[in-house]
Amino acid sequence: MRKQLITLGTAATMVLGGLALTSGSANAGTAAAAADRNFQASCTSAGKKFSVGVYYTPKDGYDRITSYSFSFKGSDIGDRNQVRLRIREEKFGPDKNLWQWESSKVTRSGHTRHPNIQVRYKAKWHADFRVVFDLKNDRSCTGLTNSA
């Protein structure tokens, strides 16, 4: 019997002798390039939203993290937003920073950073973030993605 595993995003389809069994959920953003995967996350504060997307490609025993994009939604957000983005390896005890980017002068438009780091498959990692919105009374929020 022929067995084949096809992976798209977080969905897996196993083909057994012509019968396809599917589990998980496909991400439309990854359908174009089957090897590329991503995590999405967001947080809100005072009616303002901060969203991130982390994109990576599994290959040769590693997850290669290629880009970390983010954007703001909401009115009256100034152009001096404070943003911290991190890629972290999960450990027993404190997590280990693998990559970090910080800025205190981020405008509202979307941005992308390119960590270009590799993490071994056996290591469990995630992305986290913190933003302080540039408002009359600064408000912050934090979040993290699922783990790979």
What is the pLDDT averaged over residues 26-34?
36
Q: What is the pLDDT of residues 71-112, one digit of tens each?
A: 988 888 878 888 999 999 998 888 999 999 998 787 777 789
The confidence score (pLDDT) of residue 131 equals: 92
Could you read off the pLDDT of 37-65 as tens digits, one per residue? Answer: 899 999 999 888 999 999 999 999 999 99
| 23 and 89 part of one domain | no
Q: Can you give the pTM of this predicted structure?
A: 0.71
Task: State whether 27 and 92 are in the same domain.
Answer: no
The verdict on 71 and 111 lying in the same domain is yes
29 and 50 inside one domain: no
Whether residues 17 and 84 fall in one domain: no
Higher pLDDT, residue 20 or 133 = 133
Is residue 9 helix, strand or coil? Answer: coil
115 and 139 fall within a common domain: yes
Residues 8 and 44 in one domain: no
Place of tokens 């009616």: 47
